[in-house]
Amino acid sequence: MYNRSYIYWSIFFMLITGSMVSLMWFLIVLLNETVYLIEWELMEINSCSLSMLIYVDWMSMSFMSLVMFISSIIVIYSISYMKSDSYRGMFILMVMFFVFSMLFLIVSPNLISILLGWDGLGLTSYCLVIYYQSEKSYNAGMVTVLTNRVGDVMILMCIAWMINFGSWNFIWGINYFEMVSILIVIAALTKSAQIPFSSWLPAAMAAPTPVSALVHSSTLVTAGVYLLIRFNGIFFSFYVKESLLILAVLTMFMSGLGASFEYDLKKIIALSTLSQLGLMMSCLCVGMVKMGFFHLLSHALFKSLLFMCAGYMIHMSVNNQDIRYMGMFSKQTPLLMMAFVGSNLSLCGLPFLSGFYSKDLILEMMCYNGFNNLIYFLYYISVMLTVCYTFRLIYYVVIHEYSGGNLLSVNDDDYSMLIPMLVMFLFTIMGGSVMMWLMFLGSVPVYLTLTMKCLTWMVILMGIFLGLMICMVDDYMEMTGGMLVSFVGQMWYLPFLSTYCLNSWGLHMGYFYYKIVDQGWLDKMGGQGMKNLLIKLSNWSSVVHLNKINLYILLYLYVLYVSLFIFLVV
């Protein structure tokens, strides 16, 4: 049988080499405090030149290095995970196209080239979500691609609007209109799945788990955050930032609350990604751009590990994803549980894992911002819910004993999946401190009172207690919770709004517009109508022997009639 494993290893060496080169450029650019703008002129027409730009700074190089490193680990992980799949060659090619689209977006300082990477991510994500061809995958893929299509339209409108400024390069710091900032924010909300576009992120779990590990760590969902990082500080107004802050905090709260009542393993991790994306967005709204980017990098490390551990458990548990049918994995897979618990504790911000350095710094710096009590309350409650659903997940997977008998066949024998996870576990432990030393060369002084300093730890302890309490009363709440548990567990009915309501009035409105407008008076009075009129007039003139002057007069009256009609309508 033809063995394709060498393709995986070739791609692995290519990605790891690219990651090392990007890391070297990151150190050079960071230490020298320089920025490189590489321009390649494709063509020149009169006074207009079409050129390709590549923006090289410490931010783009560090993100590129991390994306290629995580992708190389996931490629090796996929050798065993996808070994029974007949189309794994096509799968790895789609994954590579997905990664290259993200890399193209990272180094682009131009909205045209950003659109290419942006659309590449959207198209490839749709193909990967429907990879397991079923009705569920098809529905999830349609929700994903239609939601992301809203962001694509916003980018296209920005491109059209920026023609007024003579350039699509946003790095020059032009004082744009507020309309452009609103369009960019809406595009980022769709790609990073913030309210009201959150429903596609848990639905995208229909994709294979290696894809989920890549999407939720460093590629698709982080594209919106990265776009706002690039645009932040250029033209965002106060009102745009305030609105974005409210949506980000509500997304944190909604996803944390939903994950606390969810039983699907992959959906719990997906909702945790949604919560962390809200945290990054909120950092950008208050001016902590560098800290938001720092959390973006540290989150990519432990979230990719968390998904790989979940994929290992699902793969070896006969495709079971319900955490109620899991338990006592610590006795069967000690190495796997070490990586799983370590990534979860890093998500909580346990000292001194990678998540601690970014989350603790963000929470302490948030105390310097003068928010109202509602924003401050929701922020810390969202952090408490993060700890709550994390320890609930640890309880069900590690400690909880499955009462139905030992039906699982999980073990630590698959080293082709286990070794990449252990490598990522080492980076989860050390990556946060290393990035902290590099990105913040000087110390970051934080002066707080003892009460404010201890507030984070109090919230974490309350989250641990609440998570274990929910585990004890889960069955009772499922039976008696009723509408409240349904409302909270289903993300405030956002999937209903994104599917049923979209199908009932959104698509019907598009069909109505297409039939009445595009195929209605525009079709009758536009180019097609004029063509039919000319044919009729030519046939009529041959019958009644009209001369050319009369024919031109009739044509002029027709054009005048159409112009008057459009003027009255507009």
Please provide the DSSP assignment of 374-422 as one string: HHHHHHHHHHHHHHHHHHHHHIIIIIPPPTT-------S--HHHHHHHH
Residue 144 shares a structural domain with residue 269: yes
Q: Cα–Cα distance between 191 and 246 in angstroms, integer? A: 18
pLDDT score of 526: 61
> Could you tell me if residue 195 is inside a domain?
yes
Domain assignment present for residue 82? The answer is yes
Same domain, 319 and 249: yes
| 462 neighbors 384 (Cβ within 8 angstroms) | yes
Q: Domain check: are 51 and 184 in the same one?
A: yes
Specify the pairing of strand 48-56 against strand 36-45: antiparallel
Residues 451 and 542 reside in one and the same domain: no
Question: Are 76 and 34 a contacting pair, CB within 8 Å?
Answer: no
187 inside domain? yes
* Phi and psi angles of residue 7, each rounded to the nearest 5 degrees, phi first: -65, -45
Angle among Cα 260, 265, 271 to the nearest 5 degrees reads 50
Question: Both 104 and 238 in a single domain?
Answer: yes
| φ, ψ at 37 (rounded to 5°) | -120, 110
Residue 158 lies in a domain: yes
Q: State which residues form the domain around 563.
A: 526-569
| Residue 323 and residue 457 in one domain | yes
Q: Report the alpha-carbon distance of residue 27 to residue 14 in Å, rounded.
A: 20
The CB density around residue 164, as the number of other CB atoms within 10 Å, is: 9
Q: Does residue 398 belong to any structural domain of this protein?
A: yes
Same domain? 43 vs 122: yes
Burial of 399 (0-12, 13-18, 19+ CB in 10 A): middle
Give the model confidence (pLDDT) of 259-312 as tens digits: 888 888 888 888 888 889 988 888 888 888 888 899 999 999 989 999 888 888
Residue 322 three-state SS: strand
In this prediction, the residues of the chain whose per-residue pLDDT falls under 50 are 1-2, 405-406, 543-546, 569-570
**Token pair of 445 as six digits:** 């002084």
Same domain, 458 and 560: no
Give the DSSP letter of residue 520. Answer: I
**141 and 82, same structural domain?**
yes
Q: How far is CA 186 from the centre of its chain?
A: 13
Q: How far is CA 553 from CA 263, 327, 450, 550, 559, in A?
A: 74, 85, 87, 5, 10
- Of 198, 225, 322, residue with least CA distance to 279: 225
Q: How far is CA 64 from the centre of its chain?
A: 16
14 within some domain: yes
Domain boundary among 458, 481, 504: 481
Question: Could you tell me if 76 and 416 are in contact, meaning their C-beta atoms sit under 8 angstroms apart?
Answer: yes
Which H helix or E strand runs over 39? strand 36-45
Q: How many domains does the chain have?
A: 2
Q: Name residue 54's beta-bridge partners.
A: 38
pLDDT for res 65: 92
Q: Are residues 90 and 33 in the same domain?
A: yes
> If you compute the radius of gyration of the chain from its CA atoms, what whole number of angstroms results?
27
The answer for residues whose C-beta is within 8 angstroms of residue 220's C-beta and 6 or more apart is 98, 102, 121, 125, 191
What are the structure tokens assigned to 520, written together? 């209605």
Single out the residue in 453, 481, 509 at which a domain terminates: 481
Clarify whether residues 466 and 543 are in a common domain: no
In a domain, 517, yes or no: no
502, part of any domain: no
- For residues 15 and 147, membership in a common domain is answered with yes
Residue 358 is which amino acid?
A: S
Distances (CA, A) of 465 to 382, 449, 451, 469, 476: 15, 25, 20, 6, 18
Query: What are the CB-based long-range contacts (under 8 Å, 24+) for 157-162?
Result: 157/183, 158/111, 158/183, 158/184, 158/187, 159/111, 159/112, 159/115, 162/111
Of 424, 457, 481, which residue constitutes the final position of a domain?
481
